[in-house]
Structure 1
């Protein structure tokens, strides 16, 4: 069977497809024999789940609310009361000059970025072609195959700051070029896969570069501020009319409801709503209706700060302790864990590739993600790309500790055997 170029593009051997296939296979098998350290599945935060369970019970007992939850299409822009409540919350809490016309919901963040990237990059009506600039590599695995044309991304290798067994990537502004072929700049904050949080100063410099070039700055806030607030260092939420800030309900603990949130100028929101209508009629109501009360009263910010962030910060600290214990004797480094739910581990001069390490660990019942997938837009050979892995610490602490011990065994074996 032959597919179109569109079909070929979206059925290629994508890193995100490999990741989700692994997760699906393990889930289908019950996950009993597999330690899940690969995906971005959020952990179980009991207080948050209890609160939502009670809210869902109340809604199921109210015929009118139950109908809102499951029984009607929303406008293509998203559930109106949620959108209005979020705009008021962002005005009240952060002084953002936004209204309902600045907000659009999507069926998950992945859909949001598919729409945004192809709005600003690809072939234009005048025949020109533009790309998405990812200023800080490595960057999110899910971006890599979203473009509907070839040569879709351009990226810049980072400056690497080393501090003992920690290191941190910084944007290399001296070598970052925003040329006329750039349609938008995009950065995740915190960065998936590394847990890096670009500083307020770096964010402002990117914003100035975007303004000078006349292109939007897209900020992927799926793990960030003000919700779910998985940020363990100083950082400030920011928005202006040239920024497109993207949120998600997934990392709060609602990945299955597929609710992405985009805050942008009205022209962009109208375009996204049009795409929503064409692709799926309207975005899902479920997440918006279920969490509307948390948005209205600002509770979503409070619970993110008081419950979600401490939950993951403790998990991060435990995971770092285990790494420092288990990896003694090998040249490992941990990217400074400033946010999100991942450790990014660097094994300098490792005799095998990160993909080979992934395959060996999978046979031993541990799922991680090979680091080489996280470099869209880097075309040159760079050994560092083959020396890093992403591991998730969001799941059961004992499982994470066992998984890290097995990873350490395989890494030590590779160094000792030279293969």
Structure 2
């Protein structure tokens, strides 16, 4: 079979997707209790969130099915949902927007893919790239461009904090040195680290986008106004060079693939055309359900009362376990996020390798995610030596007993890796 260059790029399996396939094949035909899956990116099964979406979709099915599921709809999004979003953001943030500022898509990742296709790649003035202002960042971004070298990550400044903490900071100077930028793309709060942009960081990125006359795409999949999985310091901003992407996935509805973007009409018109030319429009029953959850205020209530507290509690639980169980004589550090859905761990030893850890934990029926998949070029990432292959991610979506047993096994495997390295010397 002969593939085009774009076909070959898009037909390849990403590193993280191969891990997910490995999880699926390894656990098939076995009891779920036999494995401790700390790699999963699914949102936690919070009962109140599930009930909200079940009610919203059931009401949409009962009241709107004939109008939304039995006919095609507008590529920009259904009129009802667009008007609901306009009203919601006017009330929540005071934004002066209209339907021309919005595009609804089948998930925010599809909207990011559309933006990358529109604003990056070969063009009349040469190749332009998607630049991630700070890696590590969401691994799915690395598959957004249909040509090699189309995504570039800017390494962070690594700041150690105390004995077992560290923090990434944006390297604005290194970002300013990047050339041929077609668009900037960053998640905030971030996956995998849970770090949130500060107001200073956001202002700096916005100024850089404005100076170059390019879009800054802000992915709020974990942030404000929903699901607020982290203690968000900076709310979304409305700016001519900013495309804000929002998603219902981490608020408990990942399977229905529904998200939307808000930005300048000059960007939104091109995104709407992309939707028309590719997928026609987002699923309309899901649009009707999202509209109902937003319009009645229930999504805000569930976010504030159940989703945000749930993840805050799980993060404190995991932090306490790591402090108690991880070997004190191993230089491990957890990223100082502000809440979040994950713990991001750095083991700063030359004997540590994230893929080796993954394999040894798999032998003990534990899954984590090797950190290298969140770096665009992990083997040559500047900063502390080997940093791009000395990190791993654990999820907080699992039950507390799974997290507790998983961290215990991680600690055991780290001791084994350390002792094996000492014996080889």
TM-score higher than 0.5 here?
yes
Q: Distance in 1 between matches of 2:418 and 2:185?
A: 36
Contact 1:134–1:377 (CA under 8 A) maintained in structure 2? no
Query: Judging changes above 3 Å, is the alpha-carbon distance between structure 1 residues 190 and 381 closer, same or farther for their aligned structure 2 residues?
Result: closer
Please tell me whether residue 47 in structure 1 is matched to residue 30 in structure 2: no
Deviation of the 1:405 alpha carbon: 1.2
The 5 A counterparts of 1:205-216 are 205-216=204-215
Q: Distance in 1 between matches of 2:89 and 2:296?
A: 11
Task: Tell me which residue corresponds to 2:359.
Answer: 359
Contact 2:53–2:293 (CA under 8 A) maintained in structure 1? no
The 5 A counterparts of 1:306-345 are 306-329=305-328, 330-345=330-345
Deviation of the 1:372 alpha carbon: 0.7
Query: Judging changes above 3 Å, is the alpha-carbon distance between structure 1 residues 251 and 297 closer, same or farther for their aligned structure 2 residues?
Result: same
The 5 A counterparts of 1:12-411 are 12-25=12-25, 28-29=28-29, 31-60=32-61, 62=62, 64-68=63-67, 70-124=69-123, 126-164=124-162, 165-177=164-176, 179-329=178-328, 330-376=330-376, 380-382=380-382, 383-411=386-414
Q: Distance in 2 between matches of 1:155 and 1:52?
A: 36
Deviation of the 1:333 alpha carbon: 0.6
Query: Judging changes above 3 Å, is the alpha-carbon distance between structure 1 residues 394 and 350 closer, same or farther for their aligned structure 2 residues?
Result: farther
Query: Judging changes above 3 Å, is the alpha-carbon distance between structure 1 residues 74 and 377 closer, same or farther for their aligned structure 2 residues?
Result: farther
Q: Distance in 1 between matches of 2:309 and 2:160?
A: 26
Contact 1:197–1:339 (CA under 8 A) maintained in structure 2? no
Contact 2:57–2:288 (CA under 8 A) maintained in structure 1? no
Q: Distance in 2 between matches of 1:43 and 1:21?
A: 20
Deviation of the 1:59 alpha carbon: 4.2
TM-score (norm 1): 0.94
Answer with 361-370 or 295-304: which moved more. Answer: 295-304
Q: Distance in 2 between matches of 1:77 and 1:359?
A: 45
Provide the secondary structure at the position in 2 that maps to 1:83: helix
Query: Judging changes above 3 Å, is the alpha-carbon distance between structure 1 residues 137 and 179 closer, same or farther for their aligned structure 2 residues?
Result: closer
Provide the secondary structure at the position in 1 that maps to 2:408: helix
TM-score (norm 2): 0.92
Q: Distance in 2 between matches of 1:328 and 1:352?
A: 14
Q: Distance in 1 between matches of 2:222 and 2:53?
A: 19
Contact 2:42–2:397 (CA under 8 A) maintained in structure 1? yes
Please tell me whether residue 6 in structure 1 is matched to residue 20 in structure 2: no
Q: Distance in 1 between matches of 2:321 and 2:167?
A: 20
Contact 1:350–1:415 (CA under 8 A) maintained in structure 2? no
Query: Judging changes above 3 Å, is the alpha-carbon distance between structure 1 residues 362 and 148 closer, same or farther for their aligned structure 2 residues?
Result: same
Q: Distance in 1 between matches of 2:325 and 2:178?
A: 45
Provide the secondary structure at the position in 2 that maps to 1:160: strand
Query: Judging changes above 3 Å, is the alpha-carbon distance between structure 1 residues 162 and 240 closer, same or farther for their aligned structure 2 residues?
Result: same
Contact 1:133–1:185 (CA under 8 A) maintained in structure 2? yes
Deviation of the 1:103 alpha carbon: 1.0
How many corresponding residue pairs? 416
RMSD: 2.0
Deviation of the 1:2 alpha carbon: 2.4
Answer with 313-322 or 67-76: which moved more. Answer: 67-76
Q: Distance in 2 between matches of 1:378 and 1:120?
A: 25
Provide the secondary structure at the position in 2 that maps to 1:232: coil
5+ residue gaps, structure 2, are: none
Q: Distance in 1 between matches of 2:302 and 2:127?
A: 44
C-alpha distance after superposition, 1:133-189 (max 9, x if no partner): 211111111111221111112222211222221111010123222545111111110
C-alpha distance after superposition, 1:107-133 (max 9, x if no partner): 112212211111111011x24111112
Q: Distance in 2 between matches of 1:73 and 1:365?
A: 46
Q: Distance in 1 between matches of 2:66 and 2:21?
A: 34
Contact 1:154–1:378 (CA under 8 A) maintained in structure 2? no
5+ residue gaps, structure 1, are: none
Q: Distance in 1 between matches of 2:343 and 2:256?
A: 26
Contact 1:241–1:264 (CA under 8 A) maintained in structure 2? yes
Q: Distance in 1 between matches of 2:370 and 2:230?
A: 24
Query: Judging changes above 3 Å, is the alpha-carbon distance between structure 1 residues 412 and 110 closer, same or farther for their aligned structure 2 residues?
Result: same
Contact 1:143–1:376 (CA under 8 A) maintained in structure 2? no
Answer with 13-22 or 36-45: which moved more. Answer: 13-22
